[in-house]
Amino acid sequence: MNGALLTPTEDPVLLASGGEIDKAKFGMSWIGEAHAVPIMEQRELVDGFVTGTLTALLRERGLTSGRLGVDQANISFIESVRTHLPDLELVDGDTIMQQARWIKTDLEVAVIEEACAIGDSVTQRALDETRAGRRELEVAADAMQTLFRLGGEMAHVITPFVASGEHMSPPHRLATDKIIRNQDLCFIDIGAMWNGYFADIGRTTIVGKPSKTQKKIYTAVYEGLMAGIQTMRPGNTNQDCADAIIAKIGEHGLEDHLFSLFIGHGIGMGANEPPYIGETLPGTTTYEFQPSMVFAVEPLVWVPDVRGGGGVRIEDMVLITEGDPHLLSRVEYEDRLLL
């Protein structure tokens, strides 16, 4: 609901929802100009914003013709601009904004570090509360209490992910009223957002004594993750990282059981954002790692028909530096599941 008009020579203009405009005007003195905008859904309101607020702002700046980059917009906005500002060419502003977000500033890294500290605490609380006889939703509720108590704003991708037993083979994205049982694997992926930046941290634990198969799966994922992280240095690529993870998991005979999703993703202002690691869909691109990139790396292997579940994911936050990769997440791994 919030946006900004950015021009080469003038200060940004904040475009804020009606619920935020008073705060912006009276409590954010560093913002030179701010205007209220509607929720961009109802066509008549979208037209009103374009013909009123947006046209006036552009006219004042001599920008009613030329090129306007847009990074997020719905079809009604695009059609309205084309109708009411016919001399204005809309172009892709999303790609350049995404690319600008790849490399974090020192301040952004510090904010992500704090988000990770909260995310670690949230993950640890969930692990501490995971035991037989509790429902997945109870564990999620305990973890969310910690998140809000420590100042977190929301979970990673909003919904807390607690999945036990068969709910990880294949993975079930939402916490449910399933009762956690003895011998269940239980995966925790809640993370945290703080000050507008995300931490994405995941751990798998075991209730009771693990089976040999469960230990084999966990060990494969753990070793794959460690192998991938070691490649995350300038000069190597996202493909190098994916290849290392897949090869190590393949040494355990489980390559064909990798989850059908990318293995890692960029993270920051977006919960999941480019560049991706291990993406296999058409259009996948190879990029070199650069200092100050931040990734969440999250290999997942699931095997069907394993008593107590055969799905394991481990997820860490990694900062690319000039030298060794820097682990931002610090939650302990589950030694009981290692061979």
How many folded domains does the chain comprise?
Answer: 2
CA distance 250 to 310: 16
| Cα distance between residue 98 and residue 111, in whole Å | 18
Contact between 38 and 45 under an 8 Å Cβ cutoff? The reply is yes
Contact 246, 258 (CB under 8 A): yes
**What is the C-alpha to C-alpha distance for residues 61 and 71, in angstroms, rounded to an integer?**
20
Write down which residue in 101, 135, 169 finishes a domain. 101
Co-location of 110 and 200 in the same domain: yes
| Of 64, 80, 101, the domain-final residue | 101
Nearest to 316 by CA among 224, 195, 204, 225: 225
Tokens 């059609």: give the residue.
79
Q: Which domain holds residue 158?
A: 103-337
- Compute the distance between CA of residue 285 and CA of residue 274 in angstroms, rounded to an integer: 10
Instruction: Let me know how many helices (H) and strands (E) the chain has, helices first.
Output: 9, 17
Q: Are residues 315 and 178 in the same domain?
A: yes
Q: Give yes or no: residues 207 and 69 share one domain.
A: no
Q: Are residues 233 and 91 in the same domain?
A: no
- Residue ending a domain, among 45, 78, 101, is 101
CA distances from 20 to 2, 62, 148 (A): 9, 28, 21
Q: What is the chain's Cα-based Rg?
A: 23
Give the tens place of pLDDT for each residue, 202-220: 999 999 999 999 999 999 9
Element of type H or E holding 45: helix 43-48
Q: Left if phi > 0, otherwise alpha if psi is -120 to 50, otherwise beta: which for 191? A: left
Exposed e or buried b per residue across 67-93, where buried means at least 16 C-beta atoms within 10 angstroms of its C-beta: ebeeeebeebbeebbeeebeebeeeeb
80 and 122 share one domain? no
Instruction: Report the candidate in 108, 93, 69, 101 with the shortest Cα–Cα distance to residue 274.
Output: 101
Say which CATH number the domain at 66 has.
Answer: 3.40.350.10
The domain spanning residue 316 has which CATH number? 3.90.230.10
Token pair belonging to 15: 């475009």
Residue 33 and residue 146 share a domain:
no
Q: What angle do CA 322, 324, 327 make, to 5 degrees?
A: 110
Is there a contact between 223 and 230 (Cβ–Cβ < 8 Å)?
Answer: no
Sign of CA dihedral 20, 21, 25, 30: positive
Instruction: Kindly give the pairing relationship between strand 300-302 and strand 66-70.
Output: unpaired
Per-residue pLDDT of the chain (339 residues; tens, 9 = 90+): 678 998 888 888 999 988 888 888 888 888 888 999 998 899 999 999 999 999 999 999 999 999 999 998 899 999 999 999 999 999 999 999 999 999 999 999 999 999 999 999 999 999 999 999 999 999 999 999 999 999 999 999 888 999 999 999 999 888 999 999 999 999 999 999 999 999 999 999 999 999 999 999 999 999 999 999 999 999 999 999 999 999 999 999 999 999 988 999 999 999 999 999 999 999 999 999 999 999 999 999 999 999 999 999 999 999 999 999 999 999 999 999 999
